[in-house]
């Protein structure tokens, strides 16, 4: 009877030992598999890095354009600073520089505006530009506010078109590697914790 109990006890121990070995090998397999997946996702993330950066820039430009189109000219800079805060950017200065570049282009290529108007824009804050132009040049037949809006819309429209082209080129490069862009994007998002 003692032999049977001892034998049964040894069989149970052996069974537990086998189960623990199987559990350990399964855990090791899952760890190895997880590491391989992480390495693959890291490689995919690296491939998609530029496209993701261009997509983020594109989204930012689209948000900025929406603010430009939906707000009064004098409020655009303050709304941009409030809605899209960025310590590295001075929206008032950027808007003024875009206005100066657009006005210069219209003087050189379209002969719509005068150099006197451009000189006034150089001396004026962006917020006050339309008001001072209207006051200083009442004989102008056009609409200064519309002209300024057109310059801003064209600038941001060009930036958006450029970023869309960059995104398309990056996705085409991914396709030429024989990969599906959606798969690579999903791996990028998983690697960076943007998707589970």
pLDDT single digits (tens) 4-31: 667 776 676 667 766 766 655 555 444 4
CB 64 within 8 Å of CB 79: no
Q: Is the pLDDT of residue 88 over 50?
A: yes
Residues with Cβ < 8 Å from 112, sequence gap 6 or more?
Answer: 106, 142, 147
Determine the structural domain holding residue 165 and report its residue range.
50-191
Residue 155 lies in a domain: yes
Residue 100 lies in a domain: yes
Residue 86 lies in a domain: yes
Over residues 130-189, the pLDDT tens digits come to 999 999 999 988 899 999 999 999 999 999 999 999 999 999 999 998 989 998 888 888
Dist CA 60 CA 160 (whole Å): 9
Residue 114 lies in a domain: yes
Residue 123 lies in a domain: yes
Domains: count for the chain: 1
Residue 71 lies in a domain: yes
pTM for the whole thing? 0.74
Write down the mean pLDDT value for the chain.
Answer: 85
Residue 148 phi, psi dihedral angles, 5° rounding: -65, -45
Residue 181 lies in a domain: yes
Dist CA 52 CA 189 (whole Å): 9
CB 150 within 8 Å of CB 159: no
């Amino acid at each position: 009877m003692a032999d049977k109990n001892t034998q049964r006890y040894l069989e149970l121990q052996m069974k537990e030992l086998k189960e623990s070995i199987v559990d350990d090998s399964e855990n090791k397999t899952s760890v190895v598999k997880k590491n391989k997946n992480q390495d693959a996702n890291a490689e995919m993330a690296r491939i998609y890095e530029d496209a993701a950066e261009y997509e983020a820039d594109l989204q930012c430009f689209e948000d900025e354009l929406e603010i430009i189109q939906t707000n009064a000219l004098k409020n655009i800079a303050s709304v941009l600073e409030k809605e899209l805060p960025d310590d590295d950017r001075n929206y008032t200065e950027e808007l003024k520089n875009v206005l100066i570049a657009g006005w210069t282009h219209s003087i050189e290529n379209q002969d719509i505006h005068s150099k006197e108007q451009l000189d006034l824009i150089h001396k004026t804050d962006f917020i006050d530009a339309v008001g001072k132009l209207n006051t200083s040049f009442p004989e102008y037949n056009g609409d200064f506010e519309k002209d300024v809006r057109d310059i801003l819309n064209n600038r941001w429209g060009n930036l958006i078109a450029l970023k869309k082209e960059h995104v398309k080129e990056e996705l085409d490069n991914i396709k030429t590697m024989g990969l599906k862009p959606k798969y690579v994007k999903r791996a990028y998002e998983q690697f960076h914790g943007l998707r589970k």
